[in-house]
């Protein structure tokens, strides 16, 4: 199976987590004029607008902006945070309205190709040499780097360790059959095994859909086969196994999963209304805020009864921010990003306040600062038992349609074969656009 990283990367990452160091960024003295500046008496204040989809840190971002503005007079950072499921639609609307932000998210790969004409080349930035190669890879094109990796992420089944212990569960399930036995034990102990937020297009079309895609023997070859007409969803064994995992999550899950949204599911998990939920280390700041004493960890999702294949924590690549090529405040936008990953203050926010796994060799991160979920991901990284995000390689606009087909299946309005056939129709319709 293709791996996202090699042994050399693992050594670098573990070194950065345990013993990195940061250096302060220098302030950029140049002010830009245009739509990014506001008149404030005799002075001009430069406004850098950031449009981002990591809603889990939305509450902490204003404090980050205030920290930056202390040492960068005349520069104001404004954040707008939008759920991932709505993000691309709203970003395209901003582009159509000529209201583009100065900094925004891009997933790389095919998404990079769609947006590349709108992006600034960041290859000459001072942080480039410190960024891990695996984190830069999605945003590389023609030898140029178009994005800065803010962090690395891992996902799977987030679970409540205390509930597992109370239910007498001493070993994590390695197969789907074992996961069902675990679910029965949790239920017998009075706990709801799964909290499903199947209202969320992001959870379904990106996170959930990623498991059978990432576990292919060669994901890139499978995607090439879908594009070339030599592979199909309906004939793929992993996708057929994966539908059985969805069935299991519904059988042992919360009521009304199709009306349980992302924020609601996190509140339910944090308040210990259920033992497991699909997610990753990015939810740590949210659940900690609701319940500082929650004892959460992460395990791979066993979508099949192949124990060896299931023991891969899906290790997502970076969350990447890019700079709009036609921004009137490009120098200030670049300086803010440089400060974020090179200054002690910026690094402190990334690791201790946002609890993000670093994507840079120079960023210091103690596992205790990252939280229990990220702490459980690190051993998988060390062993190389990791897979990668695939969604940025899909046809543009496909993830929402995949999610809609999954919601139809969850509602009982289609069967498994029909859902996979709809996936195929979506792929074939959008692949040439």
Give residue-wise pLDDT tens across range 264-314. 999 999 999 999 999 999 999 999 999 999 999 999 999 999 998 888 877
Residue 19: how many CB atoms within 10 A of its CB?
A: 10
Residue owning tokens 């600062």: 369
pTM reported for the whole predicted model: 0.78
Q: Are 193 and 268 in contact (CB under 8 A)?
A: no
Give the span between the Cα atoms of 191 and 154, in whole angstroms.
26
According to the model, what pLDDT value does residue 152 have? 87
Residue owning tokens 């791979």: 300
Domains of the chain, start order? 19-151+320-367 (3.40.190.10), 154-315+387-430 (3.40.190.10)
DSSP character string of 283-326: GHHHHHHH-TT--EEEE----SS-HHHH--EEEEEEEEEEEBTT
The distance from CA 9 to its chain's CA centroid, rounded to whole angstroms, is 20
Q: Are 252 and 346 in contact (CB under 8 A)?
A: no
Give the span between the Cα atoms of 344 and 65, in whole angstroms.
15
- Nearest residue to 20 via CA among 173, 95, 130: 130
Give the span between the Cα atoms of 379 and 10, in whole angstroms.
10
Q: What does the block give as tokens for 250?
A: 């519904």
Residue 182: how many CB atoms within 10 A of its CB?
A: 23
The distance from CA 22 to its chain's CA centroid, rounded to whole angstroms, is 24
Helix then strand then coil, % of the chain, to nearest 5 = 50, 15, 35
Q: What angle do CA 152, 156, 160 make, to 5 degrees?
A: 110
Residue owning tokens 């996902």: 155
Distances (CA, A) of 421 to 387, 414, 425: 26, 10, 6
Q: pLDDT in tens for each of the 433 residues of the chain?
A: 433 333 333 444 444 444 333 333 333 333 333 334 443 344 678 999 999 999 989 999 999 999 999 999 999 999 999 988 889 999 999 999 999 999 999 989 889 999 999 999 999 999 999 998 888 989 999 999 999 999 988 889 999 999 999 999 999 999 999 999 999 999 999 999 999 999 999 899 999 999 999 999 999 999 999 999 999 999 999 999 999 999 999 999 999 999 999 999 999 999 999 999 999 999 999 999 999 999 999 999 999 999 988 888 776 678 899 999 999 999 999 999 999 999 999 999 999 999 998 889 898 888 888 899 998 988 887 777 878 889 889 998 999 999 999 999 999 999 999 999 999 999 999 997 6
Distances (CA, A) of 219 to 176, 214, 262, 332: 22, 6, 27, 39
* H or E stretch at 153: strand 148-160
Close Cβ partners of 262 (under 8 Å, ≥ 6 residues apart): 83, 85, 197, 199, 200, 202, 203
The pLDDT tens digits for 412-425 are 999 999 999 999 99
- Nearest residue to 117 via CA among 373, 347, 324: 324
According to the model, what pLDDT value does residue 53 have? 93
Q: Is 81 helix (H, G, I), strand (E, B) or coil?
A: strand
DSSP character string of 356-417: PBP-BTT----HHHH-HHHHHHHHHHHHT-EE---GGGSPTTHHHHHHHHHHHHHTTSS-HH
Give the span between the Cα atoms of 205 and 278, in whole angstroms.
13
According to the model, what pLDDT value does residue 153 have? 86
According to the model, what pLDDT value does residue 3 have? 35
Give the span between the Cα atoms of 173 and 301, in whole angstroms.
9
The distance from CA 240 to its chain's CA centroid, rounded to whole angstroms, is 25
The distance from CA 243 to its chain's CA centroid, rounded to whole angstroms, is 22
Q: What does the block give as tokens for 182?
A: 């675990």
Q: Is 15 helix (H, G, I), strand (E, B) or coil?
A: helix
Give the span between the Cα atoms of 161 and 295, in whole angstroms.
6
Give the span between the Cα atoms of 65 and 75, in whole angstroms.
10
Q: What angle do CA 349, 350, 353 make, to 5 degrees?
A: 50
Q: What does the block give as tokens for 95?
A: 């582009």
């Amino acid at each position: 199976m293709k791996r996202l990283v090699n042994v050399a990367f693992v050594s670098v990452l573990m070194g950065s987590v345990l013993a990195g160091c940061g250096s302060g960024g220098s302030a950029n003295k140049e002010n830009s004029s245009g739509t990014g500046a506001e008149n404030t008496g005799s002075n001009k204040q430069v406004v850098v607008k950031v449009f981002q989809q990591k809603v889990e840190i939305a509450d902490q971002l204003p404090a980050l902006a205030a920290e930056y503005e202390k040492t960068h007079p005349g520069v104001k950072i404004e954040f707008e945070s939008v759920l991932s499921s709505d993000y691309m639609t709203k970003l395209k609307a901003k582009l159509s309205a000529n209201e583009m932000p100065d900094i925004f998210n891009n997933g790389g790969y095919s998404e990079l190709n769609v947006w590349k004409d709108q992006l600034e080349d960041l290859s000459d930035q001072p942080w480039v040499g410190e960024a891990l190669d695996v984190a830069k890879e999605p945003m590389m094109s023609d030898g140029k780097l178009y994005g800065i990796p803010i962090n690395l992420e891992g996902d799977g089944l987030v679970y409540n360790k205390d509930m597992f212990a109370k239910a007498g569960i001493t070993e994590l399930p390695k197969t789907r059959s074992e996961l069902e036995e675990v679910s029965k034990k949790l239920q017998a102990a009075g706990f709801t095994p799964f909290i499903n937020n199947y209202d969320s297009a992001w959870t379904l079309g990106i996170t959930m859909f990623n498991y059978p895609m990432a576990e292919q023997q060669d994901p890139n070859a499978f995607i090439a086969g879908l594009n070339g007409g030599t592979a199909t969803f309906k004939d793929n064994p992993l996708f057929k196994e994966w539908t059985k995992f969805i069935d299991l999550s519904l059988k042992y899950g919360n009521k009304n999963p199709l009306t349980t949204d992302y924020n609601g599911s996190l509140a339910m998990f944090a308040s210990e209304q259920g033992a497991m939920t699909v997610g990753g280390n990015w939810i740590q700041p949210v659940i900690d805020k609701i319940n500082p004493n929650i004892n959460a960890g992460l395990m791979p999702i066993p979508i099949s009864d192949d124990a060896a294949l299931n023991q891969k924590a899906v290790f997502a690549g970076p969350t990447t921010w890019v700079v709009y090529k036609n921004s009137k405040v490009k120098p200030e936008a670049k300086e803010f990003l440089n400060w974020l990953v090179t200054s002690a203050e910026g690094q402190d926010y990334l690791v201790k306040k946002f609890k993000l796994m670093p994507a840079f060799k120079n960023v210091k991160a103690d596992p205790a600062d990252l939280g229990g979920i990220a702490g459980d991901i690190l051993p998988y990284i060390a062993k190389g038992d990791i897979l990668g995000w695939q969604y940025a390689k899909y046809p543009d606009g496909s993830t929402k349609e995949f999610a809609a087909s999954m919601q139809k299946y969850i509602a009982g309005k289609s069967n498994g074969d029909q859902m996979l056939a709809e996936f195929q129709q979506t792929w074939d319709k959008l692949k040439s656009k």
